[in-house]
Structure 1
């Protein structure tokens, strides 16, 4: 009984509390990673390095000879293949750590932020689950943003979106929750890594009418 009373008091406090305004840049904390410098290569050299990566997994003598030939050709052009691929691997590891760095200070907080919702699950004409992201165009015919710039948004009450990506204000409790799921989008299923989950208490249009939506961009503090 005491626990029930405590839970009711918590939910009551949340419903009357002022939400904490959160910027997208705050959701991507600085990891203090060292900058990895990639070798300066031409487009042709990039294509040759890509062939090296593909051929490295092949076992036939002909492919091994081709690999040696490409490696020698790049060496003549001043490109150390082993060093270039090692730098590429290190760069990708650093970028992944940056993308998946989450900010625990918002965990469990009642927050408010704006963004674009991409519906992923419907109940009738209303969407109940979304991806919430800081800018339009993400995840549609292009790779998703970094994980710390993708929020898995749940709203059982449902919200009717006017188009595939729709600008909104959202209020709710946010949690740090790094997960990768196959998400159904308009152009098919794709794996998306989400850094946060947010149970929305309220979703509202960013603009009051469609005229504003057509003539005004959504402003964010997110820095590219």
Structure 2
């Protein structure tokens, strides 16, 4: 083989390699929502099982604790003593409840960095937060359940992806699932966003710069 043919062959192999690597880079990784929720240790706080009657009394204790009325203070003292007779320390249980909620919150904010900087493809439902035109969403939350964040508490932070799509996606309703493709980054942020039923303070675990949004098939 002469030098000219050898150079041409090497150039061809190099070109094929570049195209192959480019194609691999463009290939999106399909991500399931469970992939975004890393395994965490069980909640270290274990709340005791209580009867409906005791739960109701503890709820009353919580309400009375935030009252400034003297009559309510007397009622609170009597209710605490009543629960004490049943070997229930209402104050301790309320403190345990606060610790339990905080532990659950931390677990919901645990993120994975496995997909940082990678091109991913993930299905879900859109919650629009910014439009370029009527029903053309350019900023939205991607969530695993239809209607999440609307008239209901938001999902955990690690189950919300904040998506930017400058091209804009013409929506029908929030009940239709979509595929979203783009580069993802783990980043816990909390933001006041306006949704159809008002402004909500929502924690989001991931950001995604979308290159494609299409109907789910």
Change (3 A) 1:54 1:15: farther
TM-score, structure 1 length as denominator? Answer: 0.80
1:70 to 61, 79, 86: 79
State yes or no: 1:149 paired with 2:174.
no
State the 4+ residue runs in structure 1 displaced beyond 4 angstroms: 12-16
Identify the residue that residue 104 of structure 1 maps to in structure 2. Answer: 113
1:127 to 131, 134, 137: 137
Return the offset for 1:201. 0.5
Superposed CA deviations along residues 133-153 of structure 1, whole A, max 9, x for unmatched, are 011131121101000001111
Mean CA deviation greater in 132-141 or 79-88: 79-88
Identify the residue that residue 192 of structure 1 maps to in structure 2. Answer: 202
Larger radius of gyration between Structure 1 and Structure 2: 2
Measure, in 1, the Cα distance between the counterparts of 2:114 and 2:156: 19
Stretches of structure 1 lacking an aligned partner (at least 5 in a row): 1-8, 208-224
Return the offset for 1:94. 1.3
What root-mean-square deviation, in Å, do the aligned CA atoms of Structure 1 and Structure 2 show? 2.2
Write out aligned runs for 1:11-160 (5 A). Answer: 13=22, 17-125=26-134, 126-160=136-170
Superposed CA deviations along residues 115-173 of structure 1, whole A, max 9, x for unmatched, are 11111111112110111001113112110100000111110110011113430001101
State yes or no: 1:176 paired with 2:186.
yes
TM-score, structure 2 length as denominator? Answer: 0.82
- Count residues with an aligned counterpart: 197
Stretches of structure 2 lacking an aligned partner (at least 5 in a row): 1-17
